[in-house]
Amino acid sequence: MGLPQGYTFRKLQVSDYSNNYIETLKVLTTVGEVSQARFEELFAHWDSLPQLYQPHVITNEQGVVVATGMLLVEKKMIHECGLVGHIEDIAIATSEQGKKLGYTMITNLTQIAEAAGCYKVILDCSTHNIGFYEKCGYTNGGTQMVKRA
């Protein structure tokens, strides 16, 4: 499944702060107030560890960020020091939903993880999103537990 004409899947750029990145993430969860300086500091951290942090976006014809996703690649001791991909922070702008952007984001991040040598790719989701992730080739692999501070 490809992107609609004029849409682009690419790595996050520092200029995306003013390109709707934060607003798109707000569709997913509480983001809070993030100044450009804080964004640039976090971006620099991510950029300093490219094997670990791989933030991606989809932009529309005007170059505006309309979808977000993060791939984290964790080095494990188990599986002969294998790699595990973690997909996080999938958000699609409300006005862009229904265009298969989420599917494209998930499948592209999964392909990047597999190309990096990850022996598995995991993600957490709400119960109501299980069907969507099954369409992306994922299966229910267990139960997530959480303790919030």
Residue 3 lies in a domain: no
User: Which pLDDT tens digit goes with each residue over 72-95?
Assistant: 999 999 999 999 999 999 999 999
Q: What is the CATH number of the domain that holds 105?
A: 3.40.630.30
User: Which pLDDT tens digit goes with each residue over 3-59?
Assistant: 999 999 999 999 999 999 999 999 999 999 999 999 999 999 999 999 999 999 999
Token look-up 């950029």 returns 47
Q: Are 89 and 53 contacting, i.e. CB atoms less than 8 angstroms apart? A: no
Q: In whole angstroms, what is the distance from residue 51 CA to residue 36 CA?
A: 24
Residues 6+ apart with CB under 8 A from 130: 140
Amino acid residing at 101: L
Averaged over 84-109, what is the pLDDT? 96
Residue 143 lies in a domain: no
pTM of the prediction? 0.94
